Amino acid sequence: MSERTLVLLKPDAVRRGLIGEIIGRIERKAGWTISALELRSLDQATLEQHYGEHQGKPFYEPLVAFMSSGPVVALVVEGERVIEGVRALAGPTDPIAAAPGSIRGDFGVIVRENLIHASDSAESAERELKIFFPAAV
Ligand code: RTP
Ligand code: MG
């Protein structure tokens, strides 16, 4: 079934010059299309909405500080089972646990700076797309 997902290339990916590398991996997946793309800086209100589920956890404050430490690239990716698919390309949250060949496994260093966000379910995708690309929803 064709779906849409929200992808963020986090500030570490932008700083380290990995935008092309990561987008290239998404583009090479046959049948997926990038339907929106923007370089932008995230304010506190946007981050609170986006990562609200993690408010109160010990990693929340450092996560928000990291996510506002530089611009991110926000993308909408469309295609067959793309929600599950981009999560698989990204690999597990902790780069040490992520297999070589995955984005986090190849380039990740620590759990917070893990290069990429991808919506984790259809419900999350719908919620996050409204935050980042309200005109496209
Ligand atoms: P994301 O939401 O960014 O796509 O990542 P995820 O689903 O794989 O991981 P999640 O549990 O939702 O955590 C969100 C982001 O918070 C940072 N994090 N730091 N223990 C820690 O220091 C810790 N745990 C999570 C990561 O940047 C993670 O991607
Ligand atoms: Mg998550």
Query: How far, in Å, from the CA of 57 to the mean position of ligand 1?
Result: 11
Residue 106 is part of a domain; what is its CATH number? 3.30.70.141
The domain in which residue 127 lies consists of 2-136
List 102, 117, 128, 133, catalytic entry: 117
Query: How far, in Å, from the CA of 2 to the mean position of ligand 1?
Result: 26
Q: Which amino acid residue places its CA nearest to atom 6 of ligand 1?
A: 93
Number of domains in the chain: 1
Is 117 an active-site residue?
Answer: yes
pLDDT in tens, 74-123: 999 999 999 999 999 999 999 999 999 999 999 999 999 999 999 999 99
Q: Is the ipTM of this complex over 0.85?
A: yes
pTM over the 0.95 mark: yes
DSSP states of 56-115 as a string?
TSTTHHHHHHHHTSS-EEEEEEEEETHHHHHHHHH--SSTTTSPBTBHHHHH--SSS--S
